[in-house]
Amino acid sequence: MSATPQLPPVAKLEQKTVVDLVTKGKRIDERGLESYRPIQIQVGLIEKANGSAQVFLGKSKVLAGIKVETGEPFPDTPEEGVLTVNVELVPLASPSFEMGPPSEAAIELSRVVDRGIRESKAVDLKSLVIQKGKKVQVVYVDVYVLDHDGNLIDAASMAALAALANSKVAKMEMKGDEVIAKGGQHQLPLNNHPVAVTFAKIDKTIVVDPSLEEEQVMSARLTVTIDKNGHLCAMQKGGLY
């Protein structure tokens, strides 16, 4: 999602159709202005991961995997485990995705997903402490965009949370200088279930869950993430990818 490529004349005509429909309260896929595309969630797809989930949001497809390892806490949070989120835009998912360092869009996606999980305190980071200030469990959330058909923020957020909810971790303890597993695996403790909702402004109309065609004509984008109690956890605004 680097610079948007120049669109051919046919695509420009389609863009005009999208705008004209929205101004009439309609959408190219016949949804209502406040309706989402069909959502499908599959969990437990990656056998070697602690947890995994795949989300289909319309034709957008996102896969998330969770890996839990032992590490050191951050100096300013010695009583908490570590959570890190990374989003990768697989080049096969879109002609505009390229190999190389993370694009601005990938970095934005990572930050928005991370912020929603972190600010809602969805993961009980205190439960991941093995020895205060020395050893903790580190939760890696790796998200892969496999097919881009619009609204990747919501799809990636859903996939990350579903994968976390599907994750199992071992209880760890210190024995001398070694970290060992104590008993079997248990469900990763989750305190909250944040939900990201993305809106797009097309002409003077607001639509929910913009498709790729709608993103190509939107003038602004706003994502709000709320927790299970309806409290605002995160907000992100932007324009074209």
Residue ranges per structural domain of the chain: 9-238
Looking at residue 240, its pLDDT comes to: 53
Query: Three-state DSSP class for 10?
Result: helix
Q: How confident is the model at residue 172 (pLDDT cuts 50, 70, 90)?
A: confident
Beta strands in 16-133, from DSSP E residues, in sequence order: 39-43, 51-57, 60-71, 82-89, 129-131
* pLDDT at position 9: 58
Split at pLDDT 50, 70, 90, the class of 115 is: very high
Residue 117 CB neighbours (<10 A): 25
Greater confidence, 240 or 216?
216
Strand, helix or coil at 176?
coil
Output the pLDDT for position 6.
Answer: 47
Fold of 9-238: Ribosomal Protein S5; domain 2 (3.30.230)
Query: Would you say residue 1 has pLDDT above 50?
Result: no
Residue 219 CA, chain-centre distance (Å), reads: 22
- The model carries a pTM of 0.91
C-alpha to C-alpha distances, 229 to 142, 154, 198, 226, nearest whole angstrom = 27, 18, 18, 8
Element at 144 (helix H, strand E) = strand 135-147
Is residue 44 scored above 90 in pLDDT?
yes
- Interhelix angle 104-119/152-165, nearest 10 degrees: 50
Give residue 241's pLDDT. 45
Residue 98's pLDDT is 84
pLDDT at 38 over 60: yes
Closest CA to 240 of 218, 210, 224: 218
Q: Rounded distance, CA 176 to CA 129, Å?
A: 16
